[in-house]
Amino acid sequence: MAKMTVKDIDIKGKKVLIRVDFNVPMKNGEITDENRIVEALPTIKYVIEQGGRAVVFSHLGRVKEEADKAKNSLAPVAKRLSEHLGQTVKFVPVTRGVELEVAVAGLKNGEVLMFENTRFEDIDGNKESKNNAELGKYWASLGDVFVNDAFGTAHRAAASNVGIASNVKTTVAGFLLEKEINFIGGTLENPERPFVAILGGAKVSDKIEVIQNLLKIADKVIIGGGMAFTFFKAMGYEVGKSLLEQDKVELAKELLTIANGKIELGDDVYTGKAFDAETERNIRKIDQIPADEMGLDVGPNTIEIFKSYIKNAKTVVWNGPLGVFEFPKFAEGTKSVAKTIASIKDQATTIIGGGDSAAAVIQFGLQDGFTHISTGGGASLEYLEGKVLPGIACVNDK
């Protein structure tokens, strides 16, 4: 069902609560990747251009005790947001109380305020993360309408999304959340075919429900990365020292049976004797992996097999790297697949489901070659599983 967006409501003169995902990586107080800030700008700019009074808030990192506060303050993020918007963002260094209430009450049309890390409320009983009713009601009392634009937290019911939505009349999606709903949700509901899904990463156990759901929808499910070796073992091959979930071998057999030829694993791998960037690289057929070697990337012939499916696709969804892309020697599979997907952008809808695959694409400088790169790792994974995400469900239907 279609969800209301910020464009569906009148916000002039209203105090607009905007939940963003500014959980950005920081080092020594400096932001090392500001992509999540940039992605939230269209929504914030729209609100202030329409004369709304923007109250922006987010979580950052894990905060379990007082000592965690110093390294997880949103003050540097507020400063960077000010630079992007070309206007002062008033930063309020608390999550509740008179100082915050006075600051919100004093906002004028077109102004922006950001308050401190919502996770600071987790120090005393996980109030934010556990969707404390009183906290959600309090934050809701600060505004007139609620805009949820934080897809990265949409898979969790927290006080700062579901809690607020439960206590306001109007909850709408921001432009970023709308994009995620349209691209991931819309693609799963009605993909243009052929639809090729590519799954990588370390463990089958992390992707069981994704594989099960995509086998119902996709025309081909390509599997690489560490998780492939559990499938190779299920097919009767020895995998040497490769990553293996022995307790999931029977499940892999079941999935291969259900797939009835839909799963593609390729037929060779790049191996090494150690999990090390400098280990010697060998090419091995999947039935010839020595006992003292481990698979660290998909092999050259497998890359060509994967590319042959991708080139003819009209829809591609990719979640998880196909090898240890952090080691240059073993990045070839992930990089080749990324380049191939980027090459069909004009003829297909191409989506990256966040997490390590998004990091890989950015590392390779290919981020502009995709229709959509999701900002949520865990959220996009659960969306691909076909689950209802609380942070989306709480948005008003049109």
- Strand pairing partners for 31? 26
| CATH class of segment(s) 6-175 | alpha beta
Q: Which residues of 26-59 are buried (b: 16+ CB within 10 A; e: fewer)?
A: beeeebeebebbebbebbbbbbbebebbbbbbbb
Two tokens, residue 371: 């229709």
Backbone angles phi and psi of 126, in degrees to 5: 50, 40
Mind listing the pLDDT tens digit for each residue in 224-239? 999 999 999 999 999 9
In 3-state terms, what secondary structure has residue 343? helix
pLDDT of 355 higher than 90 = no
pLDDT computed for residue 29 by the predictor: 84
Distance CA 338, CA 42 (A): 27
Two tokens, residue 115: 């308050």
In 3-state terms, what secondary structure has residue 179? helix
Q: Find the angle CA(38)-CA(40)-CA(41) to the nearest 5 degrees.
A: 70
Provide the annotated active-site residues.
36, 203, 355, 378
Contact predicate 83/45, CB 8 Å: no
Distance CA 236, CA 61 (A): 43
Q: Tokens 């009148």 sit at which residue?
A: 10
Band (49; pLDDT cuts 50, 70, 90): very high
Segment 305-313 mean pLDDT: 98
Segment 234-247 mean pLDDT: 98
Mean pLDDT, all residues of the chain: 96
| CA-CA-CA-CA dihedral for 117, 120, 126, 130, to nearest 10 | -20
* Overall pTM > 0.85: yes
Two tokens, residue 45: 């700019």
pLDDT computed for residue 266 by the predictor: 98
Where are the chain's structural domains? 6-175, 182-384
Contact predicate 307/316, CB 8 Å: no
Helices 249-259, 208-217: crossing angle, 10 deg rounding: 10
pLDDT computed for residue 301 by the predictor: 98
Beta-carbon contacts of 190 under 8 Å, excluding residues fewer than 6 positions away, are none
Contact predicate 78/114, CB 8 Å: yes
User: Could you tell me whether strands 268-272 and 294-298 are parallel, antiparallel, or unpaired per DSSP bridges?
Assistant: antiparallel
| CA-CA-CA-CA dihedral for 35, 41, 42, 48, to nearest 10 | 170
| CATH class of segment(s) 182-384 | alpha beta
Two tokens, residue 273: 């004797």
pLDDT computed for residue 354 by the predictor: 76
Q: Tokens 């949103």 sit at which residue?
A: 74
User: Could you tell me whether strands 349-352 and 15-19 are parallel, antiparallel, or unpaired per DSSP bridges?
Assistant: unpaired
User: Could you tell me whether strands 195-199 and 220-223 are parallel, antiparallel, or unpaired per DSSP bridges?
Assistant: parallel
Contact predicate 112/89, CB 8 Å: yes
Mind listing the pLDDT tens digit for each residue in 81-137? 999 999 999 999 999 999 999 999 999 999 999 999 999 999 988 999 999 999 999
pLDDT computed for residue 359 by the predictor: 86
Helices (H) and strands (E) in the chain, counts: 15, 17
Mind listing the pLDDT tens digit for each residue in 151-175? 999 999 999 999 999 999 999 999 9
pLDDT computed for residue 124 by the predictor: 85
Cis peptide leading into 194, omega within 30 of 0? yes
Residue 398 CA, chain-centre distance (Å), reads: 25
pLDDT computed for residue 117 by the predictor: 98
Percentage, residues of the chain above pLDDT 70: 100
Two tokens, residue 107: 């906002």
Q: Is there a shared CATH topology between the 6-175 domain and the 182-384 domain? A: yes
Mind listing the pLDDT tens digit for each residue in 7-40? 999 999 999 999 999 999 988 889 998 989 999 9
pLDDT computed for residue 1 by the predictor: 58
In DSSP notation, 222-249 reads: EE-STTHHHHHHHTT---TTS---GGGH
